[in-house]
Amino acid sequence: MAKKSSNDSSDGASAYRASSSVDELLLAALERDDNSFQTGRYLVTFKEGAGDEGRQSLGTQGMRVADARDFDDQAAILENIGDADAVVFPEIGVALLGGNAAQERNMNTFAEIATDSPFESIDPEYFVFAENTYSGLLQDSLTQTVPATSAEFLRGFLQATETIAREMQTNGHSQLEIEEEVQVLGATWGLIACKVPPSLRSGTGIKVAVLDTGMDLLHPDFAGRPIVSATFVGQPVQDLHSHGTHCIGTACGPKAPAGSIPRYGIGYRSSIFAGKVLSNTGNSVGGSVLAGMNWAIANRCPVISMSLGGQGGVQPSYTAAGQAALNNGCLIIAAAGNSASSTGYPANSPTIMSVASLDENLSPSSFSNFGKIEIAAPGRNIYSSVPRPTRYGVKNGTSMATPHVAGCAALWAETSPNLRGLQLWRRLQATARRLPFSAARVGAGLVQAP
């Protein structure tokens, strides 16, 4: 692995290093004011099966190359790759390039790629957000009399994250969750709609990776559960946001929480893999998300849940990661997005299962994205775990629908070792409850437990 650089300057050149932090990249994007959500770095997608050749090609061009295999369990933290110009994610066949190192070698979106090159494409890296955080800020921008540029959006995002940070310092926890009175009926409406309570399956033996803002590792509802955790954003896995803990609660929470708390979790005996790919303020970059996807696939997690993304076109790196997952018996399930527009990335990749949100009357949620949709699940007024001391809260979004599908996927995966990858994808769709709406809104319909 490349050595730690002694040059810790914050000048323009250093802002686009492969090891730059998310905050450095956000600030640099604001200074550029170029009306894009690009970070200034690049992602190289290798041709399928050409990963080793691609890594060698980067080296022959004079790049210092780090490899996720340099880290335990391939849990690569970008901030820890030192002075490397690039880092390779071997499971998915993608490399992240520092912006200046790439530009010096004319490796950018304008570069012509030779037919015999191991590279499939070179694309900009984009910022990524927790779906709820992104949609909330987007709606704020839409209320302005003048359409907001992406730079104004990012500036608003930084202001929002500063406010959240101050709240966490003052109160000791995030206040993002909606605190509401929930009528206890034995199980949440989402689990009931998905036919979870009568299912005889528990997710036993199935690894479920949730790539999000981390997890409250000491939440009492998960005491004694097998949890493997890793961070990809230079912060401890402990969730100070709440989004990740909420998603993990739905996908993997307990069958019988203490006291009068309703059942809110599906795969209550599954093995939890908590990957922190979003910071405590809900933001990240494509490289960190891809590092988490690479880790989950390296650990052969049959179910990988991602309630994150952004609005934009299909990105080759995510498509390659989705295909690598399917090839290795894993299924990536991602939130379609909450912008009431076309499905965002990474869910719009053809190799990733996209999830839409349903309201309690089983109609599409007004905020739910549409177009490339594979399946739908409850996403309105979803009760689940959040970090202590609040412990429980209600959230809305395709972010909440996605772990319903992930949890049901774990139950189906338990029924047969043959239900992996594409076979699991097909089973989820084949058994979904049909709904009287177009496939562009709900896909195959409402996900159902076995």
Residues forming the active site? 212, 243, 399
* Phi, psi angle pair for 22, to nearest 5°: -60, -40
3-state SS, the chain, equals CCCCCCCCCCCCCHHHCCCCCHHHHHHHHHHHCCCCCEEEEEEEEECCCCHHHHHHHHHHCCCCEEEHHHCHHHCCCHHHCCCCCEEEECCCCEEEECHHHHHHCCCCCCCCCCCCCCEEEEEEEEEEEEHHHHHHHHHHHHCCCCCCCHHHHHHHHHHHHHHHHHHHHHHCCCCCCECCCCCCCCECHHHHHCCCCCCCCCCCCCEEEEEECCECCCCHHHCCCCEEEEECCCCCCECCCCHHHHHHHHHHCCCCCCCCCCECCCCCCCEEEEEECCCCCCEEEHHHHHHHHHHHHHCCCCEEEECEEECCCCCHHHHHHHHHHHHCCCEEEEECCCCCCECCECCCCCCCEEEEEECCCCCECCCCCECCCCEEEECCCEEEECCCCCCEEEECCHHHHHHHHHHHHHHHHHHCCCCCCHHHHHHHHHCCECCCCCHHHHCCCECCCC
Closest CA to 316 of 113, 116, 66, 138: 113
Q: Which residue has the tokens 């050409």?
A: 50
Closest CA to 449 of 435, 430, 420, 428: 428
Closest CA to 252 of 213, 298, 196, 180: 196
- What's the CA gap between 53 and 39, in Å, rounded? 26
